[in-house]
Copies of this chain bind each other. A is one copy, B any other.
Amino acid sequence: MSRVFRRLSSTVTFKATPSKAHHHGRLPASSLPLGYQLTGVHAGVKKRAGVPDLAVILSTSEQPTSAAACFTRNAFKAAPVIVSEDVLMQNGGRARAIVINSGCANAVTGKQGMDDAWAMVKATDALLPPSKRDFRHETLVMSTGVIGQNLPISKILTGIEEQSEDRLSTRTLGSTFASWELAAKAFMTTDTFPKLRSRVFTIGGRKYRMAGMDKGAGMIHPDMGPARTSFSGFTGTGSGAKQLHATLLGCILTDAAISPRSLQSALTYAVDRSFNSISVDGDMSTNDTVILMANGAAAGAGAGQEVVEIDEKTDQEGYEVFKTELTEFAKDLAQLVVRDGEGATKFVTVTVKSAPSYKSAHSIASRISTSALVKTALYGEDANWGRILAATGSVPFLPTSSSPYASAPAIDPTRVSVTFVPADGSAPLPVLINGEPEKVDEARAKEILQEEEFEIEVEMGMGGGPETEAKYWTCDFSYEYVRINGDYRS
């Protein structure tokens, strides 16, 4: 137990985090939503010349554009979050532009920060063709980067003004894939690739498109709530509210026509099952925002012709299709963030089944996904179900009703099972069945866990049904994560 010679230093050599570049590819032009113009430029927020740090997105549709958003629940909301929520509230869910900068979060920046965020909004408003409606502002704003520093606002405003219609030599707004890609690059901070996806879908026989971008690679575990517009009833799972998490920005654009309130409810539903179901390191942000815009441009209707917006009350079937498509799309985008997790070598799906409710399933999946011991075991490729079980058992259930005599549902350990599921469809490996440990085939465990992707399934045995299951996506904790976030001396 005593050591005569004490090591002065330790050295570890580890496999470099694999390149994630293969996750980025060209999107087909036919999948890009109509009626949008985008760009990304280097305004000067980031030090390195040529690296995009400012994105502008305009809806040029003749139809009214609906907008919805979900924001961080952190008590220290950044200025852009407060401003965007204000614009949406004032306009009842309408906006026609988004301006985004990376390199500086404009958080904890006091009055100056608020002034700067409004200045970005006004400058971008000026890029829009005149509005038929009487909105004071029509732009939403997002920022990401360092906390506690003011924006280099004049550089940003110059960058926005250079996109004016009359500034032919500097204007780069466009609608090609290259335009979308530039915007996506302007979102990036520690991301190693621009995160951009598109999807084509059909409602009532008509073709629509959605495309979007997001960013995030560290300080990720969002729990966003809907904008406080007058029709925001649903407040999300709330389960993650106890573990609010970190800087994720997302932006989804579609050329479908959706009413403002239905856009918000569809987004809130989709965000809970996507962006609020990912974890890189369990931390939270002052800036998380996901914006969704629907501009009705798919119909190809002219200015005089009003396109009927899909609304959950008047076209429930159409709304349900949209909500489902949006949710699947949001999951894809959100998962890209996990795949790019700082230092991550694994992409793991955590599925919790047969919990008393979706909310509790989500809470448990969240605990497992953020557990430092589980995540280091994933890095070590160890089928350590003990750590998974301990995480599972640490989530208290709330009573099922508000009656003072209601008791919380109790976990029956003899009904809990844990299984490792390979991504290739081959036989799953149960490690705990109904509370009893299995003799684990170590070679098979190694086979499954050595892959970059696999799934951990936890069966709670407390009742079935689709609304009692939740999926969460997470990655491992590696030396690289510590190096990126802690090793300032290297």
Contact = CB atoms under 8 A, between A and B. Distances in A.
B108 A74 contact: no
Given A13-B10, A281-B373, A480-B10, A76 B390 contact: yes
Interface string A468-490: 00000000111111110111111
B477 A283 contact: no
A42 to B, nearest CB: 13
A396 interface: yes
Contact of A482 (B389, B394, B435, B478): B478
A435 B108 contact: yes
Contacts of A285: 390
Contact of A372 (B282, B374, B385, B478): B282
Contacts of A107: 386
B11 A487 contact: no
A300 interface: no
Interface in A186-238: 218-219
A331 to B, nearest CB: 23
A306 interface: no
Interface stretch (A14-22, A84-92, A120-128, A421-429): A14-22
Interface string A404-438: 00000011011010000000000000001001110
A379 interface: yes
Given A9-B15, A284-B390, A482 B479 contact: yes
Interface stretch (A57-65, A135-143, A242-250): A242-250
A285 to B, nearest CB: 6
A73 interface: yes
A486 B147 contact: no
Nearest to A378: B486
Nearest to A247: B390
Contacts of A386: 107-108, 146-148
Given A9-B16, A16-B7, A373-B219, A488 B393 contact: no
Contacts of A490: 12
A394 B74 contact: yes
30 contacts: A6-B16, A7-B16, A9-B16, A10-B15, A10-B479, A12-B483, A73-B394, A76-B392, A76-B411, A108-B389, A108-B432, A108-B437, A110-B436, A147-B390, A148-B432, A148-B437, A243-B394, A281-B372, A282-B282, A282-B372, A283-B372, A283-B374, A283-B387, A372-B477, A372-B485, A373-B485, A379-B487, A381-B488, A476-B486, A479-B479
